[in-house]
A and B are shown apart, each in its own frame.
Chain A
Amino acid sequence: MRGMPSAPTPDAISRAQALAAVPVPNEAVQTVMTETGATRLVFPLGHRPWVKKLAAMTRTTLPPAGTKVLELDELGAWTWRLIDGQRTVADLCTEFAASWRLHPREAELAVTAFLRELGKRGLVLLVAKPAVDNAEKPSRI
Chain B
Amino acid sequence: MAAAAVAQWSWQGLRFALPADWEVTVLEKAYLRADDAVGPRLEIVWRPRMTITEATMRARLHRLLPGAALDFAAGPSLHGLPDTHSFRFSHPSGHAGLGLALELPGQRTAMLLLHHQRPPEGSTNAIPLPCSTAAAVLGSLAIPPGEPFQPWQAFGVRLSVPASYTLQRFHFQPGHFHWQFNGPARGVLRAPEGALFFDRLGPASVLLRDKSLQEWATTFHASLPLHAQTLDPSAPCGLRWRAIKPPTPLRTLWRRLGKESWQDIVLSLWLDDADTKIMALLARGAPARNEPLLQELCARYAVCPDA
Contact = CB atoms under 8 A, between A and B. Distances in A.
Interface of A: 2-5, 7-8, 14-16, 73-75, 100-107, 109-110, 113
Contact of A15 (B23, B202, B277): B23
Given A7-B118, A15-B23, A106 B66 contact: no
Contacts of A4: 64-66, 68, 91, 95
B45 A2 contact: yes
A15 B155 contact: no
A103 B64 contact: no
A101 to B, nearest CB: 4
Nearest to A5: B40
A112 to B, nearest CB: 9
Contacts of B173: 109
A14 B64 CA distance: 25
B19 to A, nearest CB: 14
Contacts of B277: 101
B39 A3 contact: no
Interface of B: 23-24, 31, 33, 35, 37, 39-40, 43, 45, 63-66, 68, 91, 95, 113, 115, 118, 155-156, 172-175, 202-203, 206, 209, 274, 276-277, 305-306
Contact of A7 (B33, B39, B66, B276): B39
Nearest to B41: A5
Contact of A110 (B35, B118, B174): B174
A105 B23 contact: yes
Contacts of B40: 5
A7 B121 CA distance: 11
A103 B23 CA distance: 12
Nearest to B113: A3
5 contacts: A16-B37, A73-B206, A101-B277, A102-B174, A107-B174
Contacts of A2: 31, 43, 45, 64
Contacts of B174: 102, 106-107, 109-110, 113
A100 B37 contact: no
B204 to A, nearest CB: 9
B250 to A, nearest CB: 46
A106 B175 contact: yes
Between A3, A8, A15, A105, the greatest number of chain B beta carbons within 10 A of the residue's beta carbon is seen for: A3
Contacts of A105: 23-24, 155
Given A4-B91, A7-B39, A100-B203, 14 more contacts: A2-B31, A3-B43, A4-B68, A5-B95, A5-B115, A7-B118, A15-B23, A15-B37, A75-B203, A75-B206, A102-B203, A103-B305, A103-B306, A109-B173
Contacts of B63: 3
A16 B202 CA distance: 26
A8 to B, nearest CB: 6
Contacts of A14: 37
User: Top 6 closest A-B pairs, CB basis?
Assistant: A3-B64, A110-B174, A5-B40, A101-B276, A103-B156, A100-B203
Nearest to A101: B276
A106 B172 contact: yes
Nearest to A104: B306
Contacts of A113: 174
Contacts of A75: 203, 206
